[in-house]
Amino acid sequence: MKTAAIIGGGVIGGGWAARFLLNGWNVRVFDPDPEAERKIGEVLDNARRSLPGLSDVPLPAEGALTFHVEMADAVQGADWIQESVPERLDLKLKVYKGLQEACDPGAVIGSSTSGFKPSELQEGALRPEQIVVTHPFNPVYLLPLIEVVPTEANSAEFVSHAQDLLKSVGFFPLHVKKEIDAHIADRFLEAVWREALWLVKDGIATTEEIDEAIRMGFGIRWAQMGLFETYRVAGGEAGMKHFMAQFGPALEWPWTKLMDVPEFTDELVDLIAGQSDAQSGMHSIRELERIRDNNLVGMMRALKAQNWGAGAVLNAHDAALKPGALPTLDQADLSQPILTLARAVPLDWTDYNGHMTESKYLEAFANSTDRFMEIIGCDADYIASGGSYFTAETHIRHIDETHAGAKIEVRTQMLLGAGKKLHLFHSMYEGEKLLATGESFLLHVSLETRRPSAPSAEIEAALARVAEGQSGLPYPDGAGNAIRKPA
């Protein structure tokens, strides 16, 4: 098991801790703030509720979290050291001096800095080749982007190693090949921020109106296509050249004030703070964080279904985690119900009552049926050859509540598997607590005729193995039930 040391446990450091911890790393934290443990604990509460639900397979077992009084104790033997101290260059250089005296020379030292160049961070370091900018975005435990900014002091092998470690915990490392103040993404944010300050100062728009303009329009487009791809589409069939020809002259118009910064007066600060309070003051910061996380998870899961943008990163991380997550026919203990689903409940699977909505129980049990089909050989290749199972009837019993972030497992008992017929009984658990059962009756069909047909000999043999193995299991409680008419 790998170990990460987190130097500085604020919002960003806490997000790094959560990302590593929930992906199976041990995490050591050094922060002299007496409130650090409480603050990181609150970040972890939100991360445990939201991050696992981005994956459709189980994350690794959570690592161990420890807090250390001495920085040397935290960094000794760590594979990754993430510095997230305040944006003061003198402080960062002091931190690097202390931790490099104690850490493994082969460890990656990443900085969360949003502004300093890596050459500035490496100045006077004991081992400059060990230090690299790894700039994240809040919330670190959900958003995949990490700007990786090296210098010539960092070898290509070192940069590749750092990127591989970041990918292993679900990040998307963007290699910034030429260092510049504020890297790439924050330079865009700074441009938008400056223009927004002018719009508020000049009385053109309030903070709420500016936020509405972003989140109701181009912000949604940017979330899945970025800037240039969005404009390529805007150019129509003629493409990017047409767009540039049509809108290029506008760059000469005196619209924006990007090179002119409004004076940062107390009056401007009070104006913006007052408008922000009116806009969002009815929510606490913790409530806003949860609202943000709910929306991010829903959007990223939608992108996941399209295998696009941040969703493609999530799918790649799932693919890396999937091998070994569920047993094959040869690996399963056939004397017991077979594990066919293991995952966390995503935020977008819950309803207005705060627990898992009815349709998602059906989705979970349908996924378990699909996995059982794969186990017996009715996989994508078999279906492409013209055979499959169709569900004819389903019955679900809701026994206990299931909440967002809950780690659930479904275990499947085959009640009948002979000829064209397949009768499955799924039981959903959180730990030892039974949450629900789902009973499904399926028929094997020919996809050419769309009529019931006999399965292949290989599938019949697999069904016979499961039937023999599970022959000693009692008939499950609730199997064969229907909704009874009231007396």
Kindly provide the b/e burial profile for residues 227-254, where b requires at least 16 CB atoms within 10 angstroms of the residue's own CB.
eeeebbeebeeeeeeebeeeeeeeeeee
Cα(426)–Cα(173) distance, rounded to whole angstroms?
39
Work out the widest C-alpha separation in the chain, in whole angstroms.
Answer: 84
In this structure, are residues 57 and 93 in contact, taking their beta carbons and an 8 Å threshold?
A: no
| C-beta atoms surrounding 479 within 10 Å | 15
3-state secondary structure of 342: strand
* R_g of the chain computed on alpha carbons: 27
Relative to beta strand 65-68, strand 26-30 is: parallel
Q: Does 377 carry a binding-site annotation?
A: no
Residue 155 is inside which H or E element, if any? Answer: none
Phi, psi of 137 (to 5 degrees): -135, 140
CA 313 to chain centre: 9
Structure tokens at 299: 């959007």
CB neighbours of residue 23 within 10 Å: 23
- Give me the DSSP letters along 240-288: HHHHHHHHGGGGGSS---TTSPPP--HHHHHHHHHHHHHHHTTS-HHHH
Q: Which residues of 407-430 are buried (b: 16+ CB within 10 A; e: fewer)?
A: ebbbbbbbbebeeebbbbbbbbeb
Determine whether the annotation assigns residue 324 to a binding site.
no
Question: Is residue 173 within 8 Å of 163, Cβ to Cβ?
Answer: yes
H/E stretch holding 452: strand 451-452
The answer to whether the peptide bond before residue 139 is cis (omega within 30 degrees of 0) is: yes
Q: How many Å apart are CA 243 and CA 249, to the nearest integer?
A: 11
Annotated ligand binding at 10? The verdict is yes
State the residue for tokens 């041990």.
26
Q: Is 274 annotated as a binding residue?
A: no
Q: Is 12 annotated as a binding residue?
A: yes
State how far the alpha carbon of 103 is from the alpha carbons of 5, 126, 246, 361, in Å. Answer: 10, 11, 55, 48
Beta bridge partners of residue 427, listed in sequence order: 411, 437
Contacts of 312 (CB under 8 A, 6+ apart): 303, 304
| Cβ atoms of 243 and 234 closer than 8 Å | yes
Q: Where are the alpha helices (DSSP H) in 3-50?
A: 11-22, 36-50
Binding site for NAD(+): which residues?
A: 8-13
Binding site: which residues?
A: 8-13
